Chain A
Amino acid sequence: MFLAILKRLLMLIPVLIGITLISFLLLQIMPGDPASRAMGSRASAEDLQAMRELWGLDKPIWVQYFYFLRDCVTGSFGVSIFHKQPIITLVADRLPYTLAIVLYSTVIALVIALPFAILAAANRGRFLDVAIRQIFVVLIALPPFWLCYVLILWLALNLGMFPTGGVGTGFFENLYRLFLPSLVVGLSTAALIQQSLRAALIDAMKADYVDTARAKGLRGYEVFLRHILPNSLISTISIIGVRVSWIIGGTVVVEKIFSVPGLGSLLIDSIVSRDLPVIRGLTVFFAILVVTVNLIADICYALADPRIRLE
């Protein structure tokens, strides 16, 4: 197991290098001179020259890439023009909020998806199954940025149940304040999980071990709780792993709208203030986040199901 994880980690190295390369090339597609784009039209010639030297823009392109790679490996990810701080410091302040929304929304998604998946699987092909599927079609069709405002309007402004945004201090206050943003991300995730969980439940119900358990005289709910449900949930882990890129992407929009000071807000603020090193550093960091969560999901999957081997 340990060796397998080590092997997976080694296999990640080319992927990580590829990620830095793509993020690096991202800034190369920009039309015109990056220094004058970043500093605006009023910058003096000396300032522009200083900027070019600072970023190494006067060097050949492969040297520039090497500088960027060095920044990523040493962990700074570059320096922000706007905040005048290493990007990793900015990321460290904001990462907890983004991770909190990712986790929170996944829990919400499971809480919503699980009962509907069980109901749909138990009534497969009948009216309830079809009705549930249509509910989740509508859920997928809700645009997250609009849903944020509908929830703010309804639950925050009209009913006063939740704040319109921002974060607080302490676990329980943030559990309350981050509920609406996590709900928006969780609803779109729930739709994905429900479909696959329903399919997994139906597969598990047909499995031989279920017949065996029944033959041994276990009651229906015992078979369900001890055999069908755990086996179906394992496949859900891998679905969450595959979809984590989508979940993390979804946090960007809700963070900005609910003024949560996470990585997504930082990305959009940096785009507005044209803080190019931050945009580049953040794309690398987001991709690393996705790759890491994918790896964790794979390991959990292998631990939960002894038939699966990490290769």
Chain B
Amino acid sequence: MRVLRNLLRTVSGSVGLIMLIITIASTVLTPFLSPYDPFALDFANAMQPPSAAHWFGTDNFGRDIFTRVMAGAVYDMRLALICVFGPMAIGVLIGLVAGYLGGRIDAALMRLTDIVWAFPFYVLVLAIVGVLGPSETNLYIAFFLVNWIGYARIIRGETLLISRLEFIEATRVLRFGKLRVTLRHILPNAITPALVYSMSDVVLTVQAVAAMSFFGLGVQPPAPEWGLLIVESIDYMRDAPWMTVFPGLAIVWIGIAFALLGEGLSTALKPKG
């Protein structure tokens, strides 16, 4: 609650939060309020430019693009959030274990992250999905295999840093167990930079999952996922540019929202003094 109050005190944090609430509200409400079905074909109204009736225009099958983009938000938000916070949980755990145990296990884990770090993110995710075969499940597998690295490195570094601080020394005098100290005193402090990083991670992950679907390697048609909406629009780009532009703007909108939230969080979580 204190964090939320601090977050709302920053301009970027409040704007980001408002943008996110607008997104969630319109995603939830559109199926009830929109007069259009995201899948029903209506050839009489094909490729209509944006108007009062069709805010984002219609596609080559006459489907309302606004309704489809809102239906697609469910896919992209689910993918992005799971692909960030799932690996984050794994990375935090591994980082804590490395920092907590130290020694050889720490050295081995850090060597592993060094090596995985050498592969460009897109190359590794593309290769994993390419080998496993295109599907939404395999997309999750690829992101879980790759995305934990950043968090493990951040948490491990923070754990080492915090372990040397005075208040942790004090717990040793009090003879607290090492596990208790790690979970109750180190973790809450080490998580802050990981949380800030996760916000910019969401920005890039929304783009990455949409890009994977765009290349036919993620969510499969006929889902109105944003990357798919864009790839399906390419042939009509010249005559109906709104088909390409609006699903992309949805990705930009989400990106800005999370980037601002990240900026706000980094201010809100900064310790006083």
B108-138 interface with A by 8 A CB criterion: 111-112, 114-124, 126-133
**B259 and A150 contacting across the interface, CB-CB below 8 Å:** no
**A146 and B120 contacting across the interface, CB-CB below 8 Å:** no
**A141 and B259 contacting across the interface, CB-CB below 8 Å:** yes
Interface residue? A218 (CB, 8 A): no
Contact status of A137 and B132, CB under 8 A, knowing A145-B230, A287-B118, A291-B118:
no
**B121 and A286 contacting across the interface, CB-CB below 8 Å:** no
**A138 and B123 contacting across the interface, CB-CB below 8 Å:** no
Question: Which residues of A sit under 8 angstroms from B265, Cβ to Cβ?
Answer: none
Q: A23 vs B124: C-alpha distance in the bound complex, in angstroms? A: 9
Interface residue? B260 (CB, 8 A): yes
Among B118, B214, B234, chain A packs the most CB atoms within 10 A around the CB of B118
Q: Mark B6-44, 1 if CB is under 8 A from A, else 0.
A: 000000000000000000000000000000000000000
Q: A252 vs B211: C-alpha distance in the bound complex, in angstroms? A: 11
**B260 and A149 contacting across the interface, CB-CB below 8 Å:** no
**B132 and A290 contacting across the interface, CB-CB below 8 Å:** no
Stretch at the interface among A89-97, A228-236, A264-272: A264-272
Q: A267 vs B126: C-alpha distance in the bound complex, in angstroms? A: 8
Contact status of A252 and B124, CB under 8 A, knowing A149-B237, A153-B237:
no
Q: A253 vs B208: C-alpha distance in the bound complex, in angstroms? A: 10
**A150 and B244 contacting across the interface, CB-CB below 8 Å:** yes
**B234 and A149 contacting across the interface, CB-CB below 8 Å:** yes
Question: Which residues of A sit under 8 angstroms from B129, Cβ to Cβ?
Answer: 271
A119-152 interface with B by 8 A CB criterion: 137-138, 140-147, 149-150, 152
Q: A223 vs B215: C-alpha distance in the bound complex, in angstroms? A: 50
Q: A147 vs B207: C-alpha distance in the bound complex, in angstroms? A: 11
Q: A274 vs B132: C-alpha distance in the bound complex, in angstroms? A: 10
**B259 and A268 contacting across the interface, CB-CB below 8 Å:** no
Question: Which residues of B sit under 8 angstroms from A138, Cβ to Cβ?
Answer: 252, 256
DSSP majority for the B interface?
helix
Interface residue? A207 (CB, 8 A): no
Question: Which residues of B sit under 8 angstroms from A18, Cβ to Cβ?
Answer: 111-112, 114-115
Q: A233 vs B133: C-alpha distance in the bound complex, in angstroms? A: 43
Q: Mark A9-43, 1 if CB is under 8 A from B, else 0.
A: 00000110011001100110111000000000000
Distance from A72 Cβ to chain B, minimum over Cβ atoms (Å): 14
**B131 and A27 contacting across the interface, CB-CB below 8 Å:** yes
Distance from A32 Cβ to chain B, minimum over Cβ atoms (Å): 10
Interface residue? A249 (CB, 8 A): yes
Question: Which residues of B sit under 8 angstroms from A246, Cβ to Cβ?
Answer: 120-121
**B211 and A286 contacting across the interface, CB-CB below 8 Å:** no
A187-240 interface with B by 8 A CB criterion: none
Interface residue? B241 (CB, 8 A): yes
**B123 and A141 contacting across the interface, CB-CB below 8 Å:** no
Question: Which residues of A sit under 8 angstroms from B114, Cβ to Cβ?
Answer: 15, 18
Interface residue? B186 (CB, 8 A): no
**A137 and B260 contacting across the interface, CB-CB below 8 Å:** yes
Interface residue? A64 (CB, 8 A): no
Question: Which residues of A sit under 8 angstroms from B126, Cβ to Cβ?
Answer: 252, 267-268, 271
> How many residues on the B side are at the interface (Cβ–Cβ under 8 A)?
50
Question: Which residues of B sit under 8 angstroms from A271, Cβ to Cβ?
Answer: 126-127, 129-130, 217
Question: Which residues of B sit under 8 angstroms from A26, Cβ to Cβ?
Answer: 127-128, 131
Q: A144 vs B119: C-alpha distance in the bound complex, in angstroms? A: 19
Distance from A198 Cβ to chain B, minimum over Cβ atoms (Å): 14
Interface residue? B245 (CB, 8 A): yes
**A283 and B119 contacting across the interface, CB-CB below 8 Å:** yes
Q: A14 vs B259: C-alpha distance in the bound complex, in angstroms? A: 37
**B252 and A141 contacting across the interface, CB-CB below 8 Å:** yes
Contact status of A248 and B120, CB under 8 A, knowing A141-B252, A149-B230:
yes
Question: Which residues of B sit under 8 angstroms from A76, Cβ to Cβ?
Answer: none
**A150 and B248 contacting across the interface, CB-CB below 8 Å:** yes
Q: A146 vs B254: C-alpha distance in the bound complex, in angstroms? A: 14
Interface residue? B251 (CB, 8 A): yes
Q: A29 vs B256: C-alpha distance in the bound complex, in angstroms? A: 36
Interface residue? A181 (CB, 8 A): no
Contact status of A245 and B119, CB under 8 A, knowing A14-B111, A141-B203, A271-B217:
yes
Nearest CB in chain B to that of A28: its residue: B131
Q: Mark A266-290, 1 if CB is under 8 A from B, else 0.
A: 0110111010100110110011001
Q: A14 vs B115: C-alpha distance in the bound complex, in angstroms? A: 9
Interface residue? B255 (CB, 8 A): yes
Nearest CB in chain A to that of B15: its residue: A134
**A249 and B245 contacting across the interface, CB-CB below 8 Å:** no
The 20 sampled A-B contact pairs (Cβ below 8 Å) are: A15-B118, A22-B119, A27-B131, A29-B131, A138-B252, A138-B256, A140-B203, A141-B203, A143-B210, A143-B211, A143-B252, A145-B207, A149-B230, A149-B234, A149-B244, A149-B248, A157-B238, A249-B123, A267-B127, A279-B127
Q: What are the 7 tightest A-B residue pairs by CB atom distance, in nearest-first order?
A: A141-B255, A249-B120, A271-B130, A146-B248, A18-B115, A249-B122, A143-B207
Additional pairs, 13, CB under 8 Å, beyond known A153-B244, A283-B124: A15-B118, A29-B131, A30-B131, A30-B132, A140-B200, A141-B254, A141-B255, A143-B210, A146-B230, A245-B119, A271-B126, A283-B127, A291-B118
Residues of chain A touching chain B, judged by Cβ–Cβ distance below 8 Å, are 14-15, 18-19, 22-23, 26-27, 29-31, 137-138, 140-147, 149-150, 152-153, 157, 245-246, 248-250, 252-253, 256, 267-268, 270-272, 274, 276, 279-280, 282-283, 286-287, 290-291, 294
